[in-house]
Structure 1
Amino acid sequence: MKDPDSARLPREQISTGTPPPGLTTALRSMMLKASVPGVSVAVVDRDRVVFAGGYGLADLAARSPATASTTYLWFSMTKMVTATAALRLADDGRLDLATPVGEYVDYLRGPGKVQPSVGQLLTHTSGLGNPLPIRWAHAAEAAPPDPEALLRKLMARRRAYRYPVGQMARYSNVGYLAAGQIISAAAGMPYEDYARKSVLQPLGMHNTGFRQPTGAATAKGYLKAPRIADPLLRRLLPPGIAGDRYRAYLSLNPFHVDGPAYGGLAGDVLDAAKFLRMHLRNGDLDGKRVLTPESARRMRVIEHAGEPFAHGIGWFRRSPDSTTPWVEHFGTGVGFWNVMRLYPDHGMGVVIMSNSTAAYDFEPLMELLVGASWQKP
């Protein structure tokens, strides 16, 4: 049953460009089918943002519209920034992707003779497991936990390395927590500081960071569930995160992910658009070079088969077929569901962010956006 409040969603809030014919209808259909409260979207080519806007509501109770400037939790789209930061260190000769992880952080050593490399962390082929991270979060007003303490705790578990090294790709949040600590060791500063210095600041991503920007218009996360489930959900979620109920939805109070390197960023689609443009331009944006062209292209090579994704360095796609014209990354979890996708041969990128826990069918939307004839804003 669809949320009756969705029938009163406001019309689009356009920031840049003119929406192509059918976009509003396609977005509305996508949102209604999956009961998505709010969506922000940006479309880029190599030179500019060709379209950016918001649809629906960032906050149901306050009736605040979603816009291109609305802040969402990035969740695992953060891994793309982590992978980019690692490649930047490699470009500068400060990190060797072929070196075993234990050479940088001793407690990451594997149990066997074959040791995982730094690069295998980034391609999800290190053999590390992927425990459910549902409680790896804290209320926004709480002090963040030490990411190294979290990683040490996870590595102390029996069979932290669950799979053969260097074989099938198996998605692992732990692998990117580990990559964050290796980046810190190689850079000589905390992971968050290096990510800001090497990626966010050069790209002018001033509205994106590891704490929600002060004064930013922030989307409230929502979990659609029957009211009877509220007591269970409040026990499952970390303290202070479950908020008030709004009709069919349990709202979430502002929170942050415990592990910054695997999912800790928060920001808007306009900043994500800058990141996509840099990758479309093979590492450069507005004269600021973040990666060498060779490293940017290397990240897009999807060469490690896996389930449910085939992986490159950061980027992945569901099909290992090299003819698929895109690479992408999702950012999903309780309260938010996002996707960024790069079409290198078309010279286009799309990012969609939402305050929905549930997935939605974004493929028709992607086809419409990439197939449109865009005029200069």
Structure 2
Amino acid sequence: MRKILFFLLLFVDNLLFAQMNLEKDLDQLLHQRFDKNQAGIAVMVVKEGKVIYKKGVGMANADTKEPLSSQSNFRMASVSKQFTAMCIMLLAKQGRLSYDDNLLRFFPDFEATVGKKIKVRHLLTHSSGIWDYENSLPEERTTQILDAEVVAMLSKETRTYFEPGTTFRYSNSGFCVLEQMVEKASGMPYVDFITKHIFKPLGMSSTRIYEAGKDIPHRAMGYAKNKQGALIASDQSITSATKGDGCVYTSLEDYYKWYNGLINNKLISLEVELKKVAIQLPSPSQGQYGLGWFFQKNETEPLALYHTGSTCGFSNGVLVVPSRKYLFLYFSNIADNHGIEKELISLVKKYNVYDTSFDFLKMVNLTN
């Protein structure tokens, strides 16, 4: 018994020692890479359900000088897609739609040959071949486009990039269509549905969907680097108001609540649904995509979920290993800032905190 107790205490001491050194090295890295008086980053690491790192470095707003913290709300960009997918999963659970419904059920004005072929599951796996709405926007446009206008624009298209369901092509258009599908199937505005069925049940009280002119508490503003490397304001674009593909604003604190909801199946079993809705990614990634997630699983490694988010002023990354209660998360209010991810991962691997052997970094290039 004494030997068991000795080794148990030794294990705990080693774990605490590793955690302290990881915290020290992460602090050093973040302070080296980000100026405390400019835009920056917030990072969280959870191991076996325990938060072992949670800090923000830099400014949420260069004008007001509000510092970044675990409560700062960042624009999620494509990390938002997992929330839109959850709305669809919940509607399927309620019997209000099916993954095999085609577009014509919800949008009878859609061009018939396209609308008949594209199913809900194709949109959820980026395998619809639906046209990229961004390519149809006139260069002189200055007003932000919304999801309903995207659908109206796409409904006139008579072509797809490929036969729906045959291959993977990342599509913001598909998730704009899903946002409108949520409204059609539920009879509620998308913002009301996601708030009632996801944010409130999980206690995500400060999470918001971007709507022009409406307040977002502790909002981090977006920035980018100019040709000289100086940070400039870059918070919005004409494509950054569509809700389904990228409009969630959340914080480390609230995302942790979402993560707990996922791994504990508080809303639905994501792993069960991924068995129904997924597509194999093109080589050499060896992974799959479904329901707003890149994911991998094999005989020796449990399910691991990954996604990034990139927009004019933000760069985000999320990795979840549900069975091991692991979360790796970074939100940056600087555009094109995914290079920091490799450095962060190197540190958590150094201290044996990184809980998967899958390499997801190659999948960043599969998004847009």
Could you say which TM-score interval applies, normalised by the shorter chain?
0.7 to 0.9
Structure-to-structure mapping, 1:206-217, within 5 angstroms:
206-211=205-210, 214=215, 216-217=217-218
Shift, 1:40, TM fit: 0.8
Question: Highest relative contact order (Cα 8 Å, sep 6+), 1 or 2?
Answer: 1
Structure-to-structure mapping, 1:1-377, within 5 angstroms:
20-29=23-32, 31=34, 37-44=39-46, 47=49, 49-60=51-62, 62-108=64-110, 111=113, 115-132=117-134, 146-157=146-157, 159=159, 161-211=160-210, 214=215, 216-226=217-227, 248-252=230-234, 257-281=240-264, 283-284=265-266, 290-292=267-269, 295=272, 298=275, 303-306=279-282, 310-316=288-294, 326-361=304-339, 362-369=341-348, 372=351
Tell me the matched-pair count. 322
- Aligned AA (1:354): S
* Contact 1:82 1:261 (8 Å CA) reproduced: yes
The 2-side partners of 1:94 and 1:71 are apart by 32
Shift, 1:366, TM fit: 3.0
The 2-side partners of 1:211 and 1:173 are apart by 16
The 2-side partners of 1:216 and 1:360 are apart by 25
- Aligned AA (1:226): K
- Aligned AA (1:342): V
Deviations 1:5-47 (A, max 9, x none): xxxxxxxxxxxx9763411123345558xxx831012233574
The 1-side partners of 2:115 and 2:87 are apart by 29
- Aligned AA (1:211): Y
Deviations 1:95-122 (A, max 9, x none): 2001222222224456369712101100
* Contact 1:273 1:350 (8 Å CA) reproduced: no
Larger Rg: 2
For residues 134 and 47 of structure 1, do their structure 2 counterparts lie closer, same or farther at Cα, with a shift above 3 Å needed?
farther
Shift, 1:217, TM fit: 2.4
The 2-side partners of 1:292 and 1:257 are apart by 30
Residue equivalent to 2:12: none
- Aligned AA (2:202): L
For residues 176 and 30 of structure 1, do their structure 2 counterparts lie closer, same or farther at Cα, with a shift above 3 Å needed?
same
* Contact 2:131 2:154 (8 Å CA) reproduced: no
- RMSD of aligned residue pairs (Cα, Å): 3.5
SS at match of 1:258: coil
* Contact 1:326 1:341 (8 Å CA) reproduced: yes
Shift, 1:326, TM fit: 2.8
Stretches of structure 2 that go unaligned for 5 or more consecutive residues are: 1-18, 354-368
The 2-side partners of 1:44 and 1:168 are apart by 34
The 2-side partners of 1:149 and 1:264 are apart by 16
For residues 24 and 119 of structure 1, do their structure 2 counterparts lie closer, same or farther at Cα, with a shift above 3 Å needed?
same
- Aligned AA (1:332): S
Stretches of structure 1 that go unaligned for 5 or more consecutive residues are: 1-16, 137-141, 228-246, 285-289
Shift, 1:211, TM fit: 3.4
The 1-side partners of 2:334 and 2:69 are apart by 15
Length-normalised TM-score, structure 1? 0.73
SS at match of 1:76: helix
Shift, 1:64, TM fit: 3.4
Length-normalised TM-score, structure 2? 0.75
